[in-house]
Amino acid sequence: MASRFQSSFTFFFLLLSAVFSVLLLPIKGETSIVDHNNGVQINVDKITTALSQAGYHAMSVTLQVALPTLISSNTINTSNLTIFAPPDQPFLSDLKYYRQPPLTLVEYHLAPMKLDKESLMSPASPLIGSKIETFLPGHPLVVTSLHHSKASINGVEIKQWNIYNDGHVIVHGVTDFFYPDYQIISYRWYGSAKTNIRGSTEGSGDL
């Protein structure tokens, strides 16, 4: 059973790598992108290398292609960025019918703000139900843990802190994908509010 899963995952990862390697050809040689809002350099290669070294191979390959596009095409102020990285296994089990993850799902794992361990685990951390704006318009993440318990967002635990942290970009490992369905079903009023990127809008519990 285990060998069958390992073989399936190896095939999936090779397919994912092959698809993305073709997509990478036009941007070969680029190592960083500039945030045009404030000139902050976001080094994609360093981010994806850190993810790969930590064992998040599928997310590493995904961001190598998707992150430059998302940053360059987005008008969000991205001087600070937090990325939540799912492990490899959900890419196989949850996305087996996709050649690559939908871009909207990738957007939902990017928060245009600095969310380090202290901000989510300290006594001054956001209350349960507080929302975290994402790159996916109208679909925030939701804090689902107390500061004295294991940190979780959308009911998904953060299991590895600071896979990458250069002061502007932070990457944390999570146990599964975040899905917009969680917010849509449990916190549907967040999706209808008109918010700015910091979430300072009508309604409470904004980050």
Is residue 62's pLDDT more than 50?
A: yes
Q: Please indicate, yes or no, if residue 86 is contained in any of the structural domains.
A: yes
- Which residue range is the domain that position 154 belongs to? 2-192
- 199 φψ region: left (φ > 0), alpha (ψ -120 to 50), beta (else): left
Read off the CATH number of the domain in which 40 is found. 2.30.180.10
Between the CA of residue 5 and those of 59, 60, 94, 96, 97, what are the distances in Å?
19, 21, 14, 13, 16
Task: Give the C-alpha separation, 131 to 113, whole Å.
Answer: 12
Average of pLDDT values for 27-49? 74
Task: Give the C-alpha separation, 23 to 139, whole Å.
Answer: 27
Q: At 122, is the pLDDT very low, low, confident or very high (cuts 50, 70, 90)?
A: confident
For the stretch 73-103, pLDDT in tens is 877 767 899 999 999 999 888 766 565 678 9
Tell me, rounded to whole angstroms, the distance of Cα 159 from its chain centroid.
Answer: 14
As for how many domains the chain has, the answer is 1
Q: Would the pTM of this model clear 0.75, i.e. be above it? A: yes
Give yes or no for a contact between 203 and 189, defined as CB atoms under 8 angstroms apart. yes
Average of pLDDT values for 29-39? 63
14 burial (CB, 10 Å; 0-12 / 13-18 / 19+) is exposed
Alpha helices, H only, 44-110: 44-53, 57-73, 88-93, 103-107
Can you list the pairs that 24-29 forms with residues at least 24 positions away whose Cβ atoms lie under 8 Å?
24/64, 24/65, 27/68
Q: Please indicate, yes or no, if residue 199 is contained in any of the structural domains.
A: no
| Higher pLDDT among residues 9 and 112, named by residue | 112
Q: Please indicate, yes or no, if residue 201 is contained in any of the structural domains.
A: no
Is residue 175's pLDDT more than 90?
A: yes
Q: Please indicate, yes or no, if residue 206 is contained in any of the structural domains.
A: no
Supply φ then ψ for residue 86, to 5 degrees.
-75, 155
Pick from 16-30, 99-113, 150-164, 171-185: least confident: 16-30
Q: At 13, is the pLDDT very low, low, confident or very high (cuts 50, 70, 90)?
A: low
